[in-house]
Structure 1
């Protein structure tokens, strides 16, 4: 790889382009490099794949019904229409009209009072829902930050990728391990796990020189990138079928997948 391409790959422009943060000049430069150099095209494809892995494992669902609820609360309120009183033709009629007007005023005041109480309650509901929406936004921003950190870890040149496939006992099993010896971090992505009886589970192990160390239980329902303990001297990763809840000692006879790390 020539120095020009290497400098470009280390500039971080590919990451910015993938996230839509490049300027128009930077975008033109990136697209030119992608079309001209296979090495840049391959690096871009790898970044896209890693972003898809992270996005799949951290899918963020927008809050349901919040906007509709707020719009419903802000619907137009009924308006009480006051008909103008006709000019009385006598003191008697004037007295009756005055009485009717007084009663109408009292009734209208009572109606407005109740409507104001209801409006205050409805406004409080809107305020509460807006507060909940703000809390959801804060949570989503935090989740997005976690996604970006995971993406950076996946794209780190020091991160090594290991695809773990099942043997004859679990042909559809597939997981992907991401290990960074420099930062001493490990992550696992559960792609697919064949269904087991309720009394059994899958457990992942790190194989050391003289023992097996549990790294946790794998669950089909937990299909997202998750951190697992990093063991510097691990020689291999192994997945076994164990009793529900996991086991203290690996049942090597029930091994369904294994991959060497060295």
Structure 2
């Protein structure tokens, strides 16, 4: 790899291009490098894969009913149509006519009051739905920030990738650990875990000098990129089969996968 390509890869333009944070002139510059240099194209594909991995692990399906409910309520016209007042024949006695007029007025008043209450309730529904949407937007913005943070961690040159594959006890087990000793961060992506009996679980450990420190329980239902406690001076990682709920001491005789750390 020549010095020109190395300088380009270290410039950060490729990451900014993928996130859409560069000018049109820089975009042309980046795309020409991707087209002309296989090394740059390979780096770009790796960045894309890492971004998709982070986005997929944080993906949350938005509720489908919220927008429909708001549109339905807003589509209703808050206009009350009143029928034209009917003409009545003159009554011989003023008292009877007054009573009928009062009854009609009371009926219309009750009708208007009921419609106003219904409209008030519907308006409150709209307010509540909008409030929920704002909360969802704030939550999604926070999740997006977390995704971008994870993406940058994955693509940090100081982040090392370790693939852990199962032994004969768990042949289909596969997890990927990402460890950055400089920032003191570690993450794990659970790719696949063979099913265990209900009374057992997988537990991951950090290996120190003569000691095993628990980093948590791994679950097939929790297949996403997630943080692991960072352990200073860890020599390796080990996954064991333990009783349901985890153990305080690693059952090394039930080890199913392990790696040495750099």
Q: TM-score, normalised by structure 1?
A: 0.90
Corresponding residue for residue 22 of structure 2: 22
Change in CA separation of 1:169 and 1:84 when aligned onto 2, cut-off 3 Å: same
Q: Separation in 1 of the partners of 2:102 and 2:247?
A: 83
Q: Separation in 2 of the partners of 1:91 and 1:214?
A: 93
Q: Separation in 2 of the partners of 1:105 and 1:81?
A: 12
Shift of 1:218: 0.8
Secondary structure of 1:221's counterpart equals helix
Shift of 1:230: 2.0
Corresponding residue for residue 72 of structure 1: 72
Corresponding residue for residue 84 of structure 2: 83
Q: Tell me, which stretches of 5 or more residues in structure 2 are unaligned?
A: none
Q: Is the 8 A contact 1:173 1:192 kept in 2?
A: yes
CA RMSD of aligned residues (A): 2.4
Spell out the pairing of 1:147-158 with structure 2 (5 A cutoff). Answer: 147-158=147-158
Spell out the pairing of 1:173-252 with structure 2 (5 A cutoff). Answer: 173-252=173-252
Q: Is the 8 A contact 1:175 1:189 kept in 2?
A: yes
- The count of residues paired between Structure 1 and Structure 2 equals 260
Change in CA separation of 1:78 and 1:100 when aligned onto 2, cut-off 3 Å: farther
Corresponding residue for residue 135 of structure 1: 135
Q: Separation in 2 of the partners of 1:191 and 1:91?
A: 86
Change in CA separation of 1:122 and 1:20 when aligned onto 2, cut-off 3 Å: same
Q: Is the 8 A contact 1:63 1:133 kept in 2?
A: no
Change in CA separation of 1:243 and 1:92 when aligned onto 2, cut-off 3 Å: closer
Provide Cα deviations, 1:42-91, integer angstroms capped at 9, x if missing partner: 211110111121012101221330011112223235743433666x9x96
Q: Separation in 1 of the partners of 2:20 and 2:97?
A: 72
Q: Separation in 2 of the partners of 1:208 and 1:84?
A: 90
2:4 aligned with 1:32: no
2:123 aligned with 1:123: yes
Corresponding residue for residue 113 of structure 2: 113
Q: TM-score, normalised by structure 2?
A: 0.90
Q: Separation in 1 of the partners of 2:85 and 2:52?
A: 68
Shift of 1:216: 1.3
Q: Separation in 2 of the partners of 1:247 and 1:261?
A: 23
Q: Separation in 2 of the partners of 1:182 and 1:247?
A: 30
Q: Separation in 2 of the partners of 1:34 and 1:228?
A: 34
